[in-house]
Amino acid sequence: MNPSQYCVVFLVLLAVASSTCEAVIPCEQAIGDVNPCVMYLIGPTGAKPPLECCDGVKALVAATPTPDDRRVACVCLKAFAQSIPINPQNAQDLPRNCNIHLSFEITPGFDCDR
């Protein structure tokens, strides 16, 4: 699996955390939420994400409370991440670096339909 696909998996997994909401998240919103993370995700290993990145990821987590929301965000972010040369280690470190606690590990094989 190439680094872009690894990032997609990471971004999808971020969307799995839940909150409360009923509407399906627009693709533009999901991409907009993680857009501040691009420079961090393509940067050198060990880089620290900017506050705007962490805030965006937290906003994405809050905006994807339902399975439908998470599925839509997953598909959108997969398409978005295909065009970015992601540093897989930075993608893996993002939850820790942003103090976001996930109940699962970020893995390259995440399925949007789970």
Q: Is the pLDDT of residue 84 over 60?
A: yes
Percent of the chain with pLDDT over 90: 35
Which domains does the chain carry?
A: 3-97 (1.10.110.10)
Stretch 86-100: mean pLDDT: 89
Closest CA to 25 of 65, 82, 53, 79: 65
Stretch 78-97: mean pLDDT: 86
**Span 39-81, pLDDT tens digits:** 999 999 999 999 999 999 999 989 988 888 888 988 888 788 7
pTM: 0.73
